[in-house]
Amino acid sequence: MTTLIVNLLRTLLMDHYILVKNCLKGKIAAQKQLYDLFASPMLSVCYRYTRSITDAEDVLQEGFVKVFFNLNQYQFKGELGAWIRRIMVTTAINYLKRNARYQSELVYQDEHLHAVNNEAHPEIKMEAKELADLIRQLPPGYQTIFNLYAVEGFNHVEIGKVLGIQESTSRSQYARARALLIQWIEQKDKGIKRAVYAK
Amino acid sequence: MQNEFEKQVQQKMEELKLVPSAPVWENVEKQIRKKRERKRFLFFLLPVMLLAGAGILWMLEQGRQGSLQSLDNTTIKQKAEKNNFENRASNPQTKIQTPVTQGPEKTKTNSEIETSGADTKKKETGKDPFVFSKPFNRVSKSKIIQPNEEGPVIKKLSAEQFRQPKTVRRKENMPNNGVAVTELDPKNNSIPPPVEKKEQFQNNQKLLPIISANENPKEQKTTGGVSEADSVKKEETLRLVKPLDSSAGKKIAGAGNKWEKIFTFRLGESMYKNGIFSGRKSLMDYVPNANTGGGFSPVYDSSGSGKKGFSFAIGAGVKKNFGKRMELTAAVQYHYYSTHGKVGEKKNGDTAVFFWGNRLTASGFYTNTGTKNYITEYGIIEIPVSFHYRLIKKIPLQFSAGASYGRLLHSNALTFDASRNFFYYNEKNNVKNFISIFSSLQYRIFTKNRAKIVTGPMVQFMPSLLQRENRFASPHLFFAGIKTDISF
C-alpha cells in the first residue's frame, strides 16, 4: 500500500505526467510542447547515425510520429527522454536499412578482422560537434555499431540482435571503428597542435 | 566494459545540441492528423459495415419469405382452406357474432366474413387478398370490447395495405528546403582522407549484405532482454524502456484510469428457449399434425418450426477499471432479435377473439397449418451492466457476466388462440419490460493501439416471459453470438 502511494505521488510529481496525458488526449499544444522539449537532444542522436542534417531531420520526424502514436505504451516508469531516445535509435537504424544511399555501405563483416589495438584511449579535446562529425564519417556499418556500443551503451549481444548480425561480428566491427576513430582524433589533435604552434 | 575512451565519447555526445528546422514539426503535425483521420474513418467503418451486413441479411430473409409465400399461394392455399375453414364453416357452434361495418346488427359466421371480405377486395383490386408480404398485425391493432358495449366500428384494411412490402428506410517527405540550423563545415570533414576509405573498403570485399535479412520491422522492438555486466548504463537504459510488468507500474498506470467510452456490437443468432438447458419449445413450435388433418389439438412439431434467426445489437456506454483485473461496463444498446416459425394462410378480415376474458377484434389472422415461414421480430432497447474479470494475468482473456434491463420497442410476435387454432397479433399480449442475463468470454486484440478491442463469444438468456398469456409454451429469448467492445 505504501509502495503504491509512493509510486503514485512520484508519478504525479513527474513533470511529464500531465504532458503525456494531454498528448494522449490528442492535444496538439501538448504534443508541440513535448516536441520542443525533446527535439534538440533527439536530433543530436539522429545526427550521429546519418550522413546529413536533412537525413537526421527525416529520422527525427519519423521518430516523433512513432512517439506520438505509441505514447500509450509509455507507463511512467523510467525517464520519458530515455524512452523517446530508444525510439529514435530504432528509427534511425531502420532508416539506414531502408535508405538506398546507406544500403551499399551498410554491411557487416562476418569474419574476424585482424586484431586492433583497443587499449589506447586518448583524451578527446575537440568539440562535441567535431567529434560527432568524425563519427559520422565512419562507414555506416561501423558508425552504427560504434554509436550503439559507445554512446547508447548497448552490449554486443544486443547489437547483434538489433542489427541481425553475430555478436563476434559486432565486436570486431566495433574494434575496427574504434581504432579508426582514435586514429582520426589523434590526427586532428596533431593538426590543432600544429595550428597552435604555428601561432 | 566501457573504458575511458567510451566515457569521453558519451560525455561529448551528451553536450551536442542541435536545433531542428521549423518544417520538421509541421510535417510531424501533418502526419499525426493524417493518421488520426485514418483511424477515425476505420472506426466509423466498422459499425457502418455491421449495419449494412445486418440490412442485407434482413433483406435476404425478406426475399426468402416472399418467395415462400408466393409458392404457398399457388399450391397450399386450397389445402389450407379445405382443412380449416370449410370445417369451421360447417360447424354452427363456431359461429361468432361479429359486428362489421356493413351493418351494425348484421351477424355472420367467420367463413362468411372472411369470404365476403376477400371477395370484395378481390373485386376491388383484381388480386388475391390472401397474398401478404407484410404481417398484418402492424397495420391494425386489437381493440377490447366490453361485453355490454355495442361492437365498435371495425377498421377495414384494404388488400393493398396488406400487400405492401416491408421497406427498410435506410437509409512526405519534408521538403527540407528549410535551412538546416547546423550546417556542416566542410573543413571539419577533411580529416579522413578518401584514400584511406577506399583502402578500407577494398579490404572488405567479402562483406555480405545482410540488409535484407534485417528489414523485418519487428526488430524495432527487439531490445534483447539479455543483460551483461559490462555496461551499467545499458542495463539502466534497458530497464527504462522495457515494457512494464511489475505490479507497481501497473498500479501507477491504473491510478489514472477514468471512465472510458465504449462502443458495443453483438452479432449472432436468436432463438426461443423454454429454459437455459432445455430444448427448443415455443409458441411457434405448436402446429397441427398433418396426420390429424389440421385438428385443433396442437402437437409439438420438432421438425421445422421455431428456428433460430438473425440477431444483432449496437450501442454505446462507459467502462471503468477496478484494479488490474476487473472492469465494469454499462451501456445502452438497441438489440434486434428474430426467430423463424411456421404459420398457415393469412386470412384477411376482422374477427373476434377472447383474451383475458375480454373480447377483442383482430384484424386478420394466420391459420395454423404450418405451411408458411414467419419471422418474429423483437426490437428491444437494453441497458446492459456487466462485470469483467481477467482470468490469467498475462493473457488478455476476460470473463464477463452481467444483466440487462430491456424495453420492447417493436415486435410482430403472434398470439396463439387455441380454441380457434389460429395466430393473431395482439399487442396487449406482449410483455414490455424484460430482464436478461448474459455471459461472455472475450479476448483483447490490438493491445498496442489506443482503441482497445475485446471480442469473443457470448450467450444471453431472457428469463422474462415474452408474452403474458401463453397456454402451451413459455417462450424465452436466447441469443448466442459474438460480442465486440471497442473502448478508448
Mean pLDDT of B24-46: 82
What is the DSSP secondary-structure string of B48-67? HHHHHHHHHHHHHHHHHHHH
Residues in chain B with CB shorter than 8 Å from the CB of A182 are 5
Q: Which of A66-70, B58-62, B276-280 has the lowest mean pLDDT?
A: B276-280
Number of other residues whose CB lies within 10 A of the CB of residue B277? 7
Residue B311 scores a pLDDT above 90: yes
Interface test with B, best of A12, A50, A69 (most B CBs within 10 A): A69
Residues in chain A with CB shorter than 8 Å from the CB of B36 are 26
- Read off the amino acid at residue B441: L
- Averaged confidence pLDDT in chain A: 80
* Cβ atoms B362, B142 nearer than 8 A: yes
User: What is the per-residue pLDDT across B439-463, written as a single tens digit (0 to 9) for each?
Assistant: 999 888 876 667 788 899 999 988 8
What is the interface size between A and B, counted as CB pairs within 8 Å?
Answer: 237
State how far the Cα of A42 lies from the Cα of B28, in Å rounded to an integer. 14
Instruction: Specify which residues B453 forms β-bridges with.
Output: B445, B486
The B residues from 259 to 298 touching A (CB cutoff 8 Å) are none
Residue B13 scores a pLDDT above 60: yes
pLDDT at B209: 39
B444 near A CB under 8 A: no
B226 near A CB under 8 A: yes
Residues in chain A with CB shorter than 8 Å from the CB of B248 are 3-4, 7, 77
Q: Do A161 and B12 touch (CB under 8 A)?
A: no
pLDDT at B372: 82
Residue B176 scores a pLDDT above 70: no
Confidence of residue A182 (pLDDT cuts 50, 70, 90): confident
Confidence of residue B70 (pLDDT cuts 50, 70, 90): low
B167 near A CB under 8 A: no
State how far the Cα of B5 lies from the Cα of A182, in Å rounded to an integer. 9
Upper half-sphere CA count for residue B28 (Cβ side, 13 Å): 28
pLDDT at A12: 55
**Residue B83: DSSP 8-state:** I
Q: What percentage of chain A exceeds 70 in pLDDT?
A: 78
pLDDT at B48: 76
Question: Which residue on chain A is closest to B174 by alpha carbon?
Answer: A58
User: What is the per-residue pLDDT across B123-151, written as a single tens digit (0 to 9) for each?
Assistant: 444 444 444 444 444 444 444 444 444 44
Nearest to A86 among B36, B185, B241 (CB): B241
Residues in chain B with CB shorter than 8 Å from the CB of A54 are 176, 180
Q: In angstroms, what separates the C-alpha of A5 from chain B's closest C-alpha?
A: 9
User: What is the per-residue pLDDT across B378-433, written as a single tens digit (0 to 9) for each?
Assistant: 999 999 999 888 888 778 888 899 999 999 998 888 887 777 778 888 888 888 88
Range ranked top by mean pLDDT from A70-79, B268-277, B400-409: B400-409
Question: Which residue on chain B is closest to A130 by alpha carbon?
Answer: B188
Q: Do B18 and A53 touch (CB under 8 A)?
A: yes
State how far the Cα of B148 lies from the Cα of B154, in Å rounded to an integer. 17
Distance set, CA B51 to CA B43, B54, B311, B380 (Å): 14, 5, 11, 16
Residues in chain A with CB shorter than 8 Å from the CB of B195 are none
Q: Do A133 and B224 touch (CB under 8 A)?
A: no
Burial B393-408 (b: 16+ CB within 10 A, else e): eeeeebebebebebeb
Q: What percentage of chain A exceeds 90 in pLDDT?
A: 13
Confidence of residue B62 (pLDDT cuts 50, 70, 90): low
* Top-confidence residue, A71 or B105: A71
Residue B342 scores a pLDDT above 50: yes
* Top-confidence residue, B229 or B307: B307
Q: Which of A53-57, B61-65, B233-237, B475-479 has the lowest mean pLDDT?
A: B233-237
**ipTM, two decimals:** 0.77
Confidence of residue B317 (pLDDT cuts 50, 70, 90): very high
- Averaged confidence pLDDT in chain B: 65
Confidence of residue B69 (pLDDT cuts 50, 70, 90): low
Nearest to B25 among A11, A35, A155 (CB): A35
pLDDT at B224: 42
**Residue B467: DSSP 8-state:** B
Q: In angstroms, what separates the C-alpha of A179 from chain B's closest C-alpha?
A: 11
Question: Which residue on chain B is closest to A164 by alpha carbon?
Answer: B214
B37 near A CB under 8 A: no
pLDDT at A177: 87
Residue A194 scores a pLDDT above 60: no
pLDDT at B230: 47
Long-range contact pairs involving A154-159 (C-beta distance under 8 Å, separation at least 24)? A154/B224, A154/B231, A154/B234, A155/B226, A155/B227, A155/B228, A155/B230, A155/B231, A155/B234, A157/B224, A157/B226, A157/B228, A158/B223, A158/B224, A158/B226, A158/B234
- Phi/psi at B189 (5° precision): -95, 10
Mean pLDDT of B51-61: 74
Which secondary structure element, helix H or strand E, spans residue B22, and what is its range?
A: helix B22-75
